[in-house]
Every structure is written in C-alpha cells, then in structure tokens.
Amino acid sequence: MSHPFDTLTPDLVLDAVESLGFLSDARVLALNSYENRVYQVGIEGAQPLVAKFYRPGRWSDAAILEEHSFTAELADCEVPVVAPLQHGGRSLFEHQGFRFALFPRRGGHAPEPGNLDQLYRLGQLLGRLHAVGASKPFEHREALAVENFGHASLNTLLEDGFVPPDLVPAFESVARDLLKRVEDIYTRTPHQLIRLHGDLHPGNLMHRDEVYHVVDLDDCRMGPAVQDLWMMLAGSREERLGQLAELIDGYNEFHDFDPRELALIEPLRALRQLHYSAWLARRWDDPAFPPSFPWFGQPRYWGDQILALREQLAALDEPALKLF
C-alpha cells in the first residue's frame, strides 16, 4: 500500500518553496524527522530555508496555526524560538495536497547532559517560555493526560496485535498496574495545566554562540510545567537532585515553579514509555519506519519493554525528587 509521503518528491519540495516566490538553487537535504518530513532547501543568494511538511491527517489547520501563534507569541516576548516565516500574512501553506511551513535555518548542538551551568540557563529559558505559556490556554490542541498518553496507547498496542501473543498477558498486566498507579499519583498531586513545548528533550534545544534556541513545537499542548523540565535531568538520584536545583533556580527567576509537581516526574516518564511504543505502532505503515526501527515488534523488544515497565512501576514507589 502507498503512503501519502510517497509522493513528496524532491521536485515537489522545490516546487512548494518556489510557489511562495523563492528561487531555489535546487539543493534539497532531508533532515532528521519521522513524524513530519523536514528539508533544508538552498536559496539563490540567501541562507537556506527549512521546509516542514506536516503529516497528513495528524493535526487540523486550526491546531497547526495555534502552534504557529504560540511560537510567534514567544518570539514577540523575546523567548529564543525558531518561529515559522510569514509570507503574505500567512505561515501555513498548501501545495499539491501537502501543508507546509518555512523556517529560518538555525544550527547548533544539544546541551551537555548534567552541565550545571547550562542547566541554570536552560531553567531561565524554560521559565520565560512558561510565563508566556501560562497566560492563556490552547483551544485546538489536546492536553497531555493519562487517558490519551496511557490508556489509548495501551489499547493501540493490544488491539493492533503488535505484542507477541505469548507476551500479551505479562505486558498487559504490568501496563495496567502501571497506569493505575499513575492515575493515583495524578489524582492526589496538585498541578496546573499550561501551554507547553510538550516534547522538550535536549535534541529540541540548539546551543550556538552562547544562545539557546527552542525548536520544533509540533507537540506543544496543555500539561503540567514539569513535563518540559524532567527530560533535562540525567544520572543518579544524587546527580539529578543537584541538576534540579540549578534548573529550578534559573526557572524561578521568570516563573514560579510549584514543587508539588515533582511527584509527576516518574508518572510522566511512564506515560512517555507507553506513548513511544504506541507512536511506532501507529506509524508502522509509513515506509520510513520499518528500516529505521527494525527492532520494533521483535519478541526481544517486548521482553525489554515488560522489564522496563516493571522497573518504572517500582520507581513510582520511590520518594519523589525534592528541592532543598
């Protein structure tokens, strides 16, 4: 069976960019992206542009424009983000059935794991981002919740037959136990939903010339502030405590962090584990996925997942990280 992205050829990419009045130099470089398709396109006499083609059927136009509006709002408040370019008063375009946006190219490298100086500055950046994010809600983008990231993910994996039959009982048992514990912690943990980046792992932060830029707000949504913080932490519990202190010190300069949300770190990690497997399952008909993730669906993968979920279930019973 064909996939919609099969028709997204280099010529179509060039035609889409040139339909907005740019003159390309015919150089197209595919960038690392699976959910959407992203290309660097050379422009005659100017810096290359980055063209992002949205996965058909994933987001509504209103949801994409809400992402663009949030990014522009952040840029207007001098939060360093890579915002889509405006052309003729618009940021979302269509060409031969594909919706796309153009961005300026921003190079750089991800932060160094555990670098305390960097974490303080990242905290300042995230505090500024969340100060804007907390000012009003999204209207067209879903929230991060146990139902959609947890239960819906588990249902996808069980109903679509990705888990080997002999491993289904063990996988389903530990996953349901995990989700029950996650729900319990969510219910008793006070938290406020604000507009977030939503997928802020270090790869979505570019560091160059002493400036960090936030990139790829494709997954922005409503959720607890700690969702954008916990993936900055790495290492042992003692190391993470020191990193957390630096991160929150910087964050609190621009936005007040509620330390009660720290109890959600391990539940959010659990939801991310299930959601990641379900994401692979939902995208398996995309021809880019099987060669890029050949281990997915193999019995060993699911055995490892059962072990990882059991370890995560145990982590939910450990004391939450605390600020001192």
pLDDT mean for each 10 residues of the chain (324 residues)? 86 97 95 94 96 96 98 96 94 97 89 86 96 98 96 96 95 98 97 97 87 93 98 94 96 98 98 98 94 93 98 96 90
CA–CA dist 312, 89 (Å, integer): 47
CA angle 211, 217, 220 (to 5 degrees): 130
pLDDT in the model for residue 8: 95
Q: Known binding site: residues?
A: 204, 216
Which amino acid is present at 135? S
pLDDT in the model for residue 208: 81
Handedness of CA 129, 132, 137, 138 (dihedral sign): negative
The 10s digit of each residue's pLDDT in 162-215 is: 999 999 999 999 999 999 999 999 999 999 999 999 999 998 999 887 788 999
First to last CA, the chain: 56
pTM, 2 dp:
0.95
Residue-wise DSSP of 101-131 = EEEE----BPPPTT-HHHHHHHHHHHHHHHH
CA angle 144, 145, 148 (to 5 degrees): 95
**Residues with catalytic function:** 199, 216
pLDDT in the model for residue 263: 98
E strand or H helix at 289:
helix 289-292
pLDDT in the model for residue 1: 57
Q: Known binding site for Mg(2+): residues?
A: 204, 216
Residue identified by tokens 């069980």 is 158
Residue 2: partners with Cβ closer than 8 Å, 6 or more residues away: none
Task: Point out which residues pair with 222 in neighbouring strands.
Answer: 143, 195
